[in-house]
Structures are given as C-alpha cells and as structure tokens.
Amino acid sequence: MKAAVYFGSQDIRCTNIPDPVIRADHEVLVKVHATSICGSDLHLYRGALDAMMEKGKSQTGHELVGEVLDVGKSVSRFKKGDRISMAYSCSCGDCYMCEVGQTAHCETTQKAVYGFGVPFGNLNGTHAEAMVIPHADAHTIHVPKQISDGAALTLSCNLPSAIIANKLADIQLGESVALIGCGPTGLMTLDLTLQRGPGRVVVLDKVPHRLQVARDKGVVAIDTSNAGWKDKALAECGGRGFDKVIEVVGYPETLQMSMDLVRPGGTVAAIGVFADSSFNLNLADVFLRDITLHMNGFANVQPYMWEGLRLLERGVIKPEQYFSHTYALADIGNAYDTFHQKRDNAIKMLIRP
C-alpha cells in the first residue's frame, strides 16, 4: 500500500510499504478516508527528531477519519464498517496513568504516538491508505455520518487540545486574554475562548493571512514581526499585562512572550509542542509575580474527544473552515512544504489517500 515515510529533514515521501495486518486481539484495521498534517508534525519535518528516526521506514501522521475493515477478537466497541477517529497518542485505558486521565503517559504503551517513529513507540501513521490501531477500545471514537471529514479529523488532536487550553486558562467573564499563535489549533482555541465572555482578546502571530482570519472574528490581531508589537499588545490591557495568556506555538521565544505579557497573578496555558530541550525560565520572576504556568503540549486528548464531538454535533464550533488545501497522499511532500512555508494562505491540509 501507499504510505508517507520519513527519509530526512524536509524529506517525507509517499512510497510503497507492506499492507498492515492485525497481529493482536486488541487491534483494529482501518481504511484511511482522510488525514491531515498537525503543527507538531512540522517539528518532525524540520528534523527535530532526525537522530532518532528510522529513515526510510518511520511512517508519519496522527490525525484520522476512517472506516473499520477488521477487528481483533477482544475488540468490543467497534465492528466492520464503523466510521471512526482516534487520539493521536495510543493508550490502553487500564493502567494507572490512563485511569487518572493522563492518557498521553500510558504505562502500557510507554507514551506511544502515531507517526512519530522509534522515539514514540514506532507505531504506524495515518498518512497511509490503511493502518492498525492497537488498544482500539481505549482511545478510538465513533464518528456520526453528519460530521464532515474535515471536522472529524480535528478530534484526533487539534480540537481536544483547544478545549484543554481553555480549561487550563479558566477564562472568567470580562478578563483580558492574549493568544499566541493562530494556526489551526490556535484558531479553534480562539473560537472557544470567544464564547467564554472575555473582556478583551488579542491574538499574536507572524503570518498575515492567519492574523486576518483572527481579525475577522472581531479581535485585535498583532503581527509580532513588527517593531513595537509588545507595547501595542500591553496597551490593550492598560499596560499591566493580560489576565490569561494561551500559547499555541511551541518555541522558547513564544513561551518568553507569554511570560512577558501575563500580569502578576495571571495564568499562562502553554499547549504548544516544545521540541527544544531547554528554556531559561526566570524562577524568581515567576515566584515574585505569582504566575501560574501550565505546560500541556503532550496533551491528554482522549478524555476530551467526546466533548469535542459534542461541540461538532451541536454546531458550537466548525473547524472544517480551517482546511485551506486538499492534497492526494501521493503529493504528501508538497502538502508538507506548503504547510511548513505557510504558502498560498495555508492554514490546514486535508490529505486523501
């Protein structure tokens, strides 16, 4: 079958690999109807895990909407023909960490993530014609027919992450909020934030067309590539800093921006995926300003998938609007490059096998 495979930094190709087969009773075999590229996949694309990847073998992709082709003997929740999505991280549902809601830290699968190669469990990926989902009963969800493929794809990662960001920030009526990063997850986070009754919302990014999408929602959008961006942002909250800051990028500089923008006693919810090994956090500053800092880039999305599905079913959020491009799986290299370069008003890629 055809599948996307990592060959090196900025070199992900569609190639032929052996067809996947069920090897354990807890697995399901799935035909991939659609998949996408997540912002975290760009860390992989840029080569952040290059030294640990098995070049020419490691598959990519962790966002799915598909159809069950076959089920293992112990699978009880799914049958052939079911339309499903699954969490980006593989969890068993039975270990201590799963029971306490830390599904991304599953003790059985050892923090396995689809499409991230040897460093994260060496699982297959969603950028393929078909795939196997182990421990399927624990982290897979039925998707009703009325939910579009684009919307369903966000259940694997983006939408639950946006829900988590808002829960961590705990935005109260009338509070000022700064949102750093308006990629797909950032825009979904913004959609949910605006429904919590904030008094002032400022969005910060460097990509003009994405800033315009946010601006069209009625918020202040600031380009951080322009001089004076920080003073401009702080002017929106009287110079004292924002009550809540949500970071959805995953770079040391954007985390520092969060710390620079939050007020004393405020909260930073950082859900970006950080690939850097270190950050010079000024502990005295955090202590003396009574800042609450939440880090949740390795998000436990499975507990929030049902909540995300409810939002989709009831029309509270419509994330399919953020799919700007559609590519065939055979053209996965161009899809990655377009998303990476943010070319042609790119926001989110939909991939068809």
Q: What is the CATH number of the domain that holds 210?
A: 3.40.50.720
Q: What is the pLDDT of residue 29?
A: 98
Q: What is the pLDDT of residue 179?
A: 98
Find the helix packing angle between 184-193 and 158-169, rounded to 10°: 50
Contacts (Cβ under 8 Å, ≥6 apart) of 106: 89, 90, 91, 92, 95, 97, 98, 112
What gap in Å lies between CA 78 and CA 83, rounded to an integer? 9
Q: Are residues 151 and 18 in the same domain?
A: yes
Q: What is the pLDDT of residue 278?
A: 82
3-state SS, residue 77: coil
What gap in Å lies between CA 110 and CA 123, rounded to an integer? 12
Q: What is the pLDDT of residue 297?
A: 85
Contacts (Cβ under 8 Å, ≥6 apart) of 164: 271, 296, 299, 300, 301, 304
Supply the pTM of this predicted model: 0.96
What gap in Å lies between CA 73 and CA 115, rounded to an integer? 25
Q: What is the pLDDT of residue 169?
A: 98
Give residue for tokens 């460093």.
119
Task: Give the number of other CB atoms < 10 A from CB of residue 316.
Answer: 12
Q: Are residues 142 and 167 in the same domain?
A: no
Domain end (from 254, 279, 295): 295
Q: Are residues 101 and 60 in the same domain?
A: yes
Contacts (Cβ under 8 Å, ≥6 apart) of 51: none
Given a cut of 90, is residue 280 above it in pLDDT?
no
Q: What is the pLDDT of residue 277?
A: 79
Q: Are residues 105 and 122 in the same domain?
A: yes
3-state SS, residue 272: coil
Q: Are residues 115 and 133 in the same domain?
A: yes
Is the Cα torsion angle 272, 4, 28, 313 positive or negative in sign? positive
Q: Are residues 178 and 221 in the same domain?
A: yes
The domain total for the chain is 2
Q: Are residues 149 and 24 in the same domain?
A: yes
Q: What is the pLDDT of residue 160?
A: 98
Confidence band for 276, pLDDT divided at 50, 70 and 90: confident
Find the helix packing angle between 208-215 and 184-193, rounded to 10°: 20
Confidence band for 52, pLDDT divided at 50, 70 and 90: confident
- Say which CATH number the domain at 81 has: 3.90.180.10
**Span 126-143, average pLDDT:** 98
Contacts (Cβ under 8 Å, ≥6 apart) of 258: 178, 180, 245, 247, 268, 270
Residue 95 contacts residue 104 (beta carbons within 8 Å):
no
Q: Are residues 347 and 253 in the same domain?
A: no
Q: Are residues 149 and 17 in the same domain?
A: yes
Q: Are residues 210 and 278 in the same domain?
A: yes
Q: What is the pLDDT of residue 232?
A: 98
Residue type, 201: V
Given a cut of 90, is residue 307 above it in pLDDT?
yes
Q: Would you give the end-to-end CA distance of the chain in angstroms?
A: 10
Task: Give the number of other CB atoms < 10 A from CB of residue 229.
Answer: 15
pLDDT tens-digit series, residues 229-267:
999 999 999 999 999 999 999 999 999 999 999 999 999
Q: Are residues 222 and 314 in the same domain?
A: no
Q: Mean of the per-residue pLDDT values for the chain? A: 96
**Span 283-312, average pLDDT:** 95
Q: What is the pLDDT of residue 253?
A: 95
Domain end (from 273, 295, 317): 295
Domain region containing 170: 162-295
**Span 175-195, average pLDDT:** 97
Q: What is the pLDDT of residue 246?
A: 98
What gap in Å lies between CA 175 and CA 161, rounded to an integer? 21
Q: Are residues 170 and 187 in the same domain?
A: yes
Domain end (from 277, 295, 313): 295
What percentage of the chain has pLDDT greater than the value 70? Answer: 100
pLDDT tens-digit series, residues 88-120:
999 999 999 999 999 999 999 999 999 999 989
- Degrees, nearest 5: CA angle 115-66-110: 35
